[in-house]
Structure 1
Amino acid sequence: MEPKELLEKTKDSRFSGPVFRAIFTSFPTKNLFADIGFREGDPDLEILKDLANRDSGIDFSKPQQEQPFQYGDLEIFLKGYISEVIDRDELLYPLKYAQYGRFSDGRYPVFYAALQEETALAEVAFHFLKDCEYEQNTTPSFIDKVVDKRVVRLDLDVPGVRDFRPFASEAAGLTADSYDFCQALGSLVHDQGIPMVLSTSARATGGTTAPIFKPNALPGQNAKTLRFYHFHYSKKTGLNIKKSDYHQTLYEPPLSWTFHLH
């Protein structure tokens, strides 16, 4: 089944319920300007925040879950900001690549979420291990890698959602390691203004991902931090995930995940 045919088979529906997303963090969470010494409300601190917003093209005063969608506007922002002597393609490439994912070729941003906390963690664990695989195989001195995540819950009420799960057996590309099928599908979803889709997770058996394409599908300030996770990969012990309650689990990747970690 081709992406266009799959999209045509689906119909608009309403999704009401929670979604989960695991995001980079520090634990405990730190203020971006905490080490400067200013107190909240200090006029000089507000000036620094304003400069940071202008410099990055991202409005940090907006809720964190809305910030990924602002990257799509960065190219327009940078056109009037950078000097002509800078290689624009070289400068913009990391910004474009940062949006690359299963449902985007980098032309537009996608907010990746899941219907289950376990699915959000599995998706993150997969990509974390891929990063570890690359570093371990390219850096002889590699010993271990650490990252902190926090899982947030957002309660959504979104009309016009498309559900691809009933067609997963006919559209193997939805869970393939190659992103070609999903990126072609995501491009159609984006261009038609569809706010959100539901799709079978490629990394969690029985899990559902919930990519969001329109920022107005997100509920403003309605984001609740559930818990923190500390990811630690070691060449000796593999991937260890520690929850904020200090419960440790040695993570065994599913057999369907292919890695060359040695």
Structure 2
Amino acid sequence: MRLRNYSGRVYRNFATSIVSQDLTDDLCAAAAEREILQELFYTAEEKKPLPSPVERVLEKSEQQIIQEEIDKKFNPAQWCASRYSDGTWAVLYAAESEETALREALFHMREFYREELASGPIEVQRRVLSLRMKSQHAVDLSREQGLNTTLLTSRDFSGYPYCQDLARRALATGAELLRAPSARHSGGYCTPIFEKAAIAKDEGHLKYLRCTLQDEHSAQVVSVVEGEALLYRMDG
């Protein structure tokens, strides 16, 4: 396997709980509408300019994200078997686009809530963060020759042993991360990170997502920041 330079922004999302910071947060999404509601909820002395949800969480979320979400993945006590680890080395999963990262997460959420989905939709909440990557020790599996692409992008767990072996071989060459085609998003790329040194900068919190798993094939995702609603087919 050949080590290559890799740099760029990658994305990750993880389970969280969206906590309202203002009485008007859960009543309407638009800032202008919340300003009107403030007239009803607050006195003139209490009323203050409304920061965006991102502005409210940035100052306190950066350290929390680094310590609780990133650092823990490099703690041996947290290691477990997954597509690119057999549980004996660290891996932090990210992707080159928000959509790819989300589609990967939706698959695992569906598996986790499979029994509950039989009774109806399930709502889960995710926090999206971004990382700036820079490494001279990356293996790009999309440029390696002779790989079994069926196992590399298996939609179920059948390809995990094969992918774990690829990761093991990459680690033996000194790789800090991989660039690999996504199994859940056609045309997307994942970036399993083995060494924290490859993370040049934690760019922090981007947004919250409300995800409604509607059945085993689809999910509706709403961005709390932009108010954008998207419908994802999990088999696409």
In the alignment, is residue 65 of structure 1 matched against residue 56 of structure 2? no
Q: Which sections of structure 1, spanning at least 5 residues, go unmatched?
A: 1-6, 31-58, 75-94, 256-262
**Percentage of matched positions with identical amino acids:** 26
CA positional deviation for 1:184: 1.3
Cα separation, partners in 2 of 1:195 and 1:155, compared to 1, 3 Å: same
1:170 Cα deviation (Å)? 4.0
Structure-2 separation of matches of 1:61 and 1:114: 17
Change (3 A) 1:214 1:238: closer
Does the C-alpha gap of structure 1 residues 191 and 219 become closer, same or farther in structure 2, counting only changes over 3 Å? same
Q: 1:205 aligns with which of 186, 194, 198?
A: 186
Query: Does the 8 Å contact 1:60/1:67 carry over to 2?
Result: no
Deviation at 1:136, TM superposition (A): 3.9
CA RMSD of aligned residues (A): 2.8
1:18 deviates by 0.5
The answer to whether 1:107 aligns with 2:84 is: no
Query: Is residue 126–residue 208 contact of structure 2 (8 Å, CA) maintained in 1?
Result: yes
TM-score (norm 1): 0.63
TM-score, normalization by structure 2 = 0.70
Choose between structure 1 and 2: higher strand proportion.
Answer: 2
For 2:189 and 2:166, the matched residues in 1 are separated by 17
Contact 2:217-2:234 at 8 Å conserved across structures: no
* 1:165 match: 142
Distance 1:159 1:236, change over 3 A: closer
Offset of residue 189 of structure 1: 2.6
Cα distance in structure 1, aligned partners of 2:229 and 2:66: 35
CA-CA distance at 1:237 after TM superposition: 10
8 Å contact 1:162–1:197 — kept in the other structure?
A: yes
SS state at 1:119 partner: helix
For 1:86, the equivalent position in structure 2 comes to none
* Counterpart Cα distance in 2 of 1:69 and 1:110: 7
Say which SS state the counterpart of residue 130 (structure 1) adopts.
helix
Q: Output the CA distance in 2 between the equivalents of 1:237 and 1:116.
A: 21
Secondary structure of 1:226 counterpart: strand
In structure 1, C-alpha distance between the alignment counterparts of 2:102 and 2:145, rounded to whole Å: 21
Q: Indicate if the aligned counterparts of 2:217 and 2:235 stay in contact, CA closer than 8 A.
A: no
- Report the alpha carbon displacement of residue 60 of structure 1 after superposing the two structures with TM: 8.8
1:29 Cα offset (Å): 8.1
CA distance in 2, matches of 1:24, 1:228: 10
- Aligned residue for 1:16, secondary structure, equals strand
Aligned residues: 189
Offset from partner CA, 1:208-259 (integer Å, 9 cap, x none)? 1100001221235x2222221111124599522111122222322235xxxx
Partner of 1:89: none
